[in-house]
Amino acid sequence: MPISLSELAERTGATVAGDGAVLVSHVAALEFAGPGAITFLANRKYRSQLVGTRAAAVIVAPEMAGQTALPKLVSATPYVVYAKVAAILHPAEPTVPGVHPSAVVDPGARIAGSASVGPNAVVGAGAVVGERARIGAGSFVGAGASIGDDVILHANVTIYERCVVGPRSILHSGVVIGADGFGMAEENGRWVKIPQLGRVVLGADVEIGANTTVDRGAIDDTVIEDDVKLDNQIQVGHNCRIGAHTAIAGCAGIAGSTRIGRNCKIGARANINGHIEICDNVNIAATANVHSSICVPGTYASAVFLALPHEQWRRRQFIVHRLPELAQRVRRLERSADAAPEDASDEAKGEP
């Protein structure tokens, strides 16, 4: 249903510039937007597309408002406003209450009347599924697990026994919460499995991407605090704790017993060593390797080279491999200079 620009401004906190009566029905990219669409500009490198867009309205920052005559929503945070507008114009499908005939629900489970349990889903003994929660097709909720209100488990999500998913959290397909952590003790060349007795506890408003895994604690719980966002294919080891509002990009690996603070941002394929602490407000660049604790907020990176033509990369790698040899030569030269007579320079000049 089309909504006026003025109503969107009121609901998102933006300011209207131009005709607030303009109606929009959907969002679209600058390049492809047409009649009835609202688009946005959050990255300046796309500003050339703003002039030619055929959208009905745009969302822009104040400094870009003069670049188009179209009706607009103006905000210092246009991307945030876009997110809110997209949610208004494209709301999620409402939960349709009920348990599918093919689902297997233990008699001891408690399913809220407004919740939905999809085809071939399994809900174990003593599990609790909250109001308006959605358990997708083929998903598994283990015995004693707790699924909060308004949670969405997409198809084929696995929640092991006793784990907790906080309200309004979203778990995408293939997510596994609560598998055993990698705990082994070695005896006479063989491995002895260490029972993993803790849980995984997810806070409110957590979102976890497809095929990400969060291991249960060995003794204490693995904890993901409120509003944490985990991308696809991340591994979180046992007994980790990730602070509220932290976001971690795809394929990152976090070894066991690591504590990550609040409001951190960790790039794709970063590797975080186990048994270390990362304080609040830390940014870690993509592909970085973190081997020790970080106690000072800021941005950290460890990648050696950005992408280079292959021959340039080979030349730089050759230099890197020679660094130990070069360091030894520098030390020898420094020792030679320290051992030289103080008046050697004068003698070289032929001065008395």
* Residues annotated as part of the active site: 238
The alpha carbon dihedral of 60, 66, 67, 70 has a sign of positive
d(CA 254, CA 246) in angstroms, rounded, equals 13
d(CA 207, CA 92) in angstroms, rounded, equals 15
How many other C-beta atoms are found inside a 10 Å radius of the C-beta of residue 38? 28
Question: Where does the chain have alpha helices with state H?
Answer: 5-12, 47-52, 78-89, 310-321, 323-339, 344-348
In Å, how far from its chain's centre is CA 306? Answer: 22
Residue 194: φ, ψ to 5°: -95, 120
In Å, how far from its chain's centre is CA 294? Answer: 19
* Tokens at 257, concatenated: 């017993």
d(CA 255, CA 274) in angstroms, rounded, equals 4
DSSP secondary structure code for residue 340 in this structure: S
Q: What 3-state DSSP class applies to 184?
A: strand
Residue appearing with tokens 């598994």: 140
d(CA 231, CA 13) in angstroms, rounded, equals 28
Element (H, E) at 147: strand 146-147
d(CA 114, CA 213) in angstroms, rounded, equals 28
Question: Using CB atoms within 10 A of its CB, is residue 209 exposed (0-12), middle (13-18) or buried (19+)?
Answer: buried
- Written as one letter, the residue type at 77 is T
d(CA 206, CA 211) in angstroms, rounded, equals 15
